[in-house]
Amino acid sequence: MTIHTFELPDLGEGLTEAEVVTWLVAVGDTVAVDQPIAEVETAKSIVEVPTPYGGVVHELHGAEGEVLAVGGPLISVADGTAEPAAPAAPEKPAGPSADGERYREEERAGTGSGNVLIGYGTPEAGTRGRRRRPRGTAAVPAPAAVPVPAAPAARRVPLVTSPLVRRLAREAGLRVADVEGSGADGLITRRDVLAAIGAAAPAREPAPDAAPPAAPAPAGTVDPRTGLAESSRIPMSGFRRSVAAALSRSRSEIPEATVWVDVDATELVRLRAAHPRGPGLLSYVARFTVAGLRAHPELNGLVDADRGELVQYDGVNLGLAVQTDRGLVAPAVLGAHRLTTAELDAEIRRLTAAAREGRATPAEMTGGTFTLNNYGSLRVDGSAAIINHPQVAILGIGRIIDRPWVVDGELTVRKVTQLSFAFDHRVCDGGAAAGFMRVVADAVEDPAAAIARL
């Protein structure tokens, strides 16, 4: 029996570690080449990792919630090749495993997925199942090199395309491999997981003599400053550590300044109401932001401190602050300067949904050149935001509310919002920042005129 150890690969994000969120297989399971074996969480996304080896899972090199280093062992797989007990006829060179041969046949036929890192596995026939070795049977060398037929009742690899469904199963303590899918080709849906949770509820009740689950107990340590006992200590996830490092670096390196202005958005709201199936309000603001960056390109760049240079980009990758279950992320609409308002609207909707489901690509998660933050979705007016290093500015828009406003000398009620803008004082002075703000604010107050100029 030959054991192959698969090391945690570089996921293409320049990271050095990742946290194991969920093991999709267990020791003793039979896995196929390119089958997803774990979900890992990097600082930017949740990624499914497939195995390049087929065989029986021999060892999992880490528990769920454990942080593993890139290049360290992730999983060991035994290929099931039996070693001869005594010398016999001249031994033939070891050929490829059945799973490996099947994988190559699929690739030659053009049906393989080719998903090396983030796919959902290569499609296979019904023989591509995870078969658990009988627990009560000891593994003994096979008396002869006779292929063992696949178990006829072997299950297919669980097909789940939604991270939300996986999360629902994980939070309920279910393995997706134990859930029967009712969708096309056995796709596991939210309804399937909810049904499995309901069916398993009676079985999950603890036995009378079973010890109750341990509740989070106070750590017992008394804080000398407050005199209070610590109730808990929660390890920071890799994602949270990455966010903390980035924000700390931004605060320590960037001499930021903030300006803000109240804006009459009545005409923009009317424009949106007149075209209910058209772009949303945030899409218009995004379009105006791109126009402001075109007028003030120094705000769309970075500071190369090592070389003492201010870098400006030929194009805009517009980052959008998105609140997710994992925390705040800022994926970017790549090439936003090339999109119309309607195209921006479609891309913003797609990107925010992908970010919340953990499906945004590494390029989208890291490629932003400027960030737009919609504080209004959180029902607040504004914030002195922290710049998303290495960017040099961030624009925020607050909620739109009815406020008294003077128009042509008369007091009236208008739809008013607040724009807040934090910028790196190394790249420009307050005049340039105010000029950028006025481009966006004037467009919000008179969108028809602004759109005519774009």
Which strands form 36-41's sheet, in the order they lie side by side? 46-50, 36-41, 17-23, 67-69
What is the spatial distance between Cα 415 and Cα 399, in angstroms, rounded to a whole number? 10
Catalytic site residue from 58, 61, 337, 425: 425
Question: Known catalytic residue: 389?
Answer: no
Query: 403 with 281: CB under 8 angstroms?
Result: no
* Contacts (Cβ under 8 Å, ≥6 apart) of 74: 6, 7, 8, 37, 38, 49, 61, 62, 68
Q: Are 127 and 154 in contact (CB under 8 A)?
A: yes
Measuring CA to CA, which residue among 347, 402, 399, 345 is closest to residue 377?
A: 399
CA distance 30 to 55: 5
**Distance (Å, whole) CA 325 – CA 357:** 9
The answer to whether 388 and 404 are in contact (CB under 8 A) is no
Q: Where do the H-state alpha helices sit in 163-208?
A: 163-171, 190-200
Beta strands in 79-169 (DSSP E): none
Long-range (24+ apart) CB contacts under 8 A made by 227-231 are none
Q: Which residues are bridge partners to 413 per DSSP?
A: 404
CA-closest candidate to residue 260, choices 447, 398, 445, 377:
398
Give Cα separations from 188 to 102, 180, 204, 225, 251 (angstroms).
Answer: 25, 7, 22, 51, 44
Q: Are the C-beta atoms of 160 and 166 separated by less than 8 Å?
A: yes
Q: What is the helix (H) or strand (E) element at residue 245, kind and residue range? A: helix 238-253
Burial of residue 212 (number of CB atoms within 10 Å: 0-12, 13-18, 19+) = exposed
Q: Which residue type, as a one-letter code, is found at position 386?
A: I
The Cα 19–Cα 240 span in angstroms is: 11
Q: How far apart (Å, rounded) are the C-alpha atoms in residues 255 and 289? A: 22
Report, as residue numbers or ranges, the catalytic residues: 425
